[in-house]
Amino acid sequence: MHREASRRKRCLLLGVVVVVVAVAVLAIVLGLTLTRSTDHLKSTVIGRCETFLKKHTDVSRVNDCERIWGMFEEAYLGKDPCEVPAEAYDPLISSVTQHVICGTMLFWSKTKAMVHAFTNNRECLVTLEDTLLGFVFDELTWCSKKGSKETFTTDCPGWSECQNNPVRSFWIRASANFAATSCGNVSAMLNGSLESPFSSTSVFGSVEVTSLDPNNVGGLTILLVSKETDTTTCASSSFQSLRSALDPKIEYNCREVPYNRVENCISDPEIPCSDCL
């Protein structure tokens, strides 16, 4: 009987040891995973930043990639992932210097693939994603948790899951700044395949249009890219909503642009920009 009790005690002790080791291993693995998430995002951000500055030497001396990462991290780190307002990125926005030539700003809505295929081969027009911050954070996901010192790149709130999530707030703030600092005549590429190309709830409709400064922006031209089979034109009723949202001091224009023409300009960068849009 004494022998049986000893055996049970040894088994219990062994079970406790196994549980403790398992918990320790799990903690180590989880810690390494979290560290890798933070380190991976940081290396991606700084790597993209350095790539951008090497290409755009005019702003390379006035922007510091490590500082940009620090300001970016401060906006969301340790916060509930649904409680990061757009204003949290104000210090980051203010810390970056970007030079964009007046009259080259190009906005877009539901045309991301085409608009960036176009601007990637040309320098006549510039989208938000062609500026430093837009280039660095395009297609990235990030968040933290309340009281945490870690950055997560998975299991973060989706765009519409909560209004003040880190990614959505960043793009709203960056978009507002891109529009507010625009100057000259600007344009926006919209999708002519849609029945209602303009949406007042899109970032372009709810943030960028209303952030254009009439003291700096003379006109907005809609570039409605349409295929031969599309029936939507510049007469679409959705554009009435756009004109209502646009400051009356800013001249409004709309131009229907054949889809094939834009495709040809993407494949042949020798075609002058003036012949494309």
* Pairing state between β 217-226 and 184-191: parallel
pLDDT at 84: 98
Which one, of 199, 210, 191, lies nearest residue 238 by Cα? 199
How far is Cα 95 from Cα 70, in angstroms, rounded to an integer?
10
Q: Which two tokens stand for residue 82?
A: 């649904």
Instruction: Name the nearest CA neighbour of 202 among 131, 107, 77.
Output: 107
C-alpha radius of gyration, the chain, whole number: 25
pTM of the model: 0.86
| pLDDT at residue 248 is higher than 60 | yes
Q: Residue 148 — pLDDT band, cuts 50, 70, 90?
A: very high
**pLDDT of amino acid 102:** 97
Q: Is 60 exceeded by the pLDDT of residue 130? A: yes
Using a pLDDT cut of 70, give the percent of the chain over it: 87
Checking if the pLDDT of 16 tops 90, the result is no
Catalytic residue chosen out of the listed positions 102, 124, 162, 234: 102
To the query of whether residue 183 is one of the catalytic residues in this protein, the response is yes
3-state secondary structure 23-35: HHHHHHHHHHHHH
pLDDT in tens, 174-197: 999 999 999 999 999 999 999 999
In the residue annotation, 102 being an active-site residue is answered as yes
Average pLDDT, the chain: 90
- Check residue 20 and give its pLDDT: 42
| pLDDT digits 0-9 by tens, 27-37 | 444 444 444 57
**176 neighbors 85 (Cβ within 8 angstroms):** no
- pLDDT category, 121, cuts 50, 70, 90? confident
pLDDT tops 70 at residue 266: yes
What pLDDT is attached to residue 28? 43
Q: Which candidate in 124, 183, 234, 273 is catalytic?
A: 183
